[in-house]
Amino acid sequence: MAPETEPRGPEAPEGPVLAAGCVLWRGTAAGGVEVALVHRPRYDDWSHPKGKLHPGEPPQSAAVREVREETGMVCVLGQPLRTVRYLAMGRPKEVRYWAAEAVGGGFVPNEEVDRVVWLAPAEARVQLTSPQDREVLDEALGSLNPL
């Protein structure tokens, strides 16, 4: 995962950077599933929508807000997924994830995200930059019933 700059949010200086995100999915007319991935030009990577918590913000609220900010989509949180831990700029970072169904909205490019793609799960798995994001995707797909 690409390093990020300037940690912000409710963390103490010695504590982890706290973030939240979603594996955003939607059903297809054929009865399948597509997953949304975001491209961040700053890091030139493909990932799930996610971002840092604001001070005092619950992780679930941050996850929904970040999906809206990065993809333009309104979502409904589903199954909680794993928490991914890694170092970003030499500091521990924790990202809590949920599976989330897209129920409306539309993407407009912005400073953080220049592209959003909807892909079949196998294509999304290949497109993701981080192996940890692939693990989160696999867990989310396992929680969707039926696939």
- pLDDT tens-digit profile of 39-61? 999 999 999 999 999 999 999 99
Element at 76 (helix H, strand E):
strand 73-88
CA nearest 50: which of 75, 27, 69? Answer: 69
Specify the pTM: 0.88
Distance (Å, whole) CA 1 – CA 23: 16
Question: According to the model, what pLDDT value does residue 40 have?
Answer: 97
Residue 64 φ/ψ, nearest 5 degrees:
-65, -45
Question: According to the model, what pLDDT value does residue 13 have?
Answer: 57
**Which residue ranges in the chain fall short of pLDDT 70?**
1-14, 145-147
Q: Count H helices and E strands in the chain, helices first.
A: 3, 7
User: Which residues sit opposite 102 in a β-bridge?
Assistant: 75
Q: Which two tokens stand for residue 141?
A: 């797909």
Question: According to the model, what pLDDT value does residue 144 have?
Answer: 86
Chosen CATH of 17-141 out of 3.90.79.10, 2.60.120.330, 2.70.70.10, 3.40.50.720: 3.90.79.10
